[in-house]
């Protein structure tokens, strides 16, 4: 169903169902099935980000959160680069097509990946440079009021806070 992408509504509903299944199917016999569906879900998430209005994209990254929350071994690790790439693409979209809260959510998922998969990230040196480059790009391109004299974190844009969150997670 997701391969043919009959409509955005069908893709959204299939992704919601898949996310719910990940939360329930934590037994070992389902690990390979879920792992096999990750690339398809990833493609669908990317497709929906392009074809949906910004306000309809708020739950698209829930699938990744469900994968991180469940206890399925090696499901994320096998698809780490594509998941990170999608999260970075979402976080870097600085236009009206993605809400700032969704960009922050992508960065939160990256931070959690950095916490949970630190050894995998360190063993794959090709993964870290794009993450660091994207984070620095987010921090440098986000406008902050230069006339503000307060040092409140509340004035910091949400996406910059998310980028800082990822950098902090990487430092542990």
Residue 1 lies in a domain: no
d(CA 14, CA 153): 38
- The CATH code of the domain that includes 63 is 1.25.40
Residue 165 lies in a domain: yes
Residue 75 lies in a domain: yes
d(CA 46, CA 8): 12
Say if CB 67 and CB 75 are below 8 A apart.
yes
Instruction: State the residue for tokens 């898949």.
Output: 18
| Number of domains, the chain | 1
What is the tens place of the pLDDT at every residue in 60-81? 999 999 999 886 667 888 899 9
Residue 134 lies in a domain: yes
Residue 2 lies in a domain: no
Longest dimension (CA), the chain: 58
| Per-residue model confidence (pLDDT) at position 96 | 82
Range of the domain at 128: 8-171
Q: What is the pTM of this model?
A: 0.85
Residue 3 lies in a domain: no
Across the chain, what does the average pLDDT equal? 85
């Amino acid at each position: 169903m997701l391969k043919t992408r009959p409509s955005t509504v069908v893709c959204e509903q299939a992704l919601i169902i898949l996310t719910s299944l990940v939360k329930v199917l934590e037994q070992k016999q389902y690990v390979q099935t879920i792992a096999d569906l990750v690339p398809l879900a990833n493609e669908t998430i990317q497709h929906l980000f392009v074809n949906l209005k910004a306000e309809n994209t708020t739950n698209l990254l829930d699938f990744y959160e469900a994968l991180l929350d469940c206890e399925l071994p090696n499901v994320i690790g096998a698809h780490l680069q594509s998941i990170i790439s999608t999260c970075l693409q979402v976080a870097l979209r600085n236009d009206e097509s993605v809400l700032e809260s969704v960009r922050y959510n992508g960065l939160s998922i990256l931070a959690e990946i950095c916490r949970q998969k630190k050894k995998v990230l360190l063993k794959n040196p090709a993964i870290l440079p794009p993450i660091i480059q994207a984070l620095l790009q987010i921090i440098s391109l986000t406008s902050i009021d230069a006339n503000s004299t307060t040092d409140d974190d509340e004035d910091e844009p949400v996406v910059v806070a998310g980028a800082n969150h990822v950098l902090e997670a990487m430092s542990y």
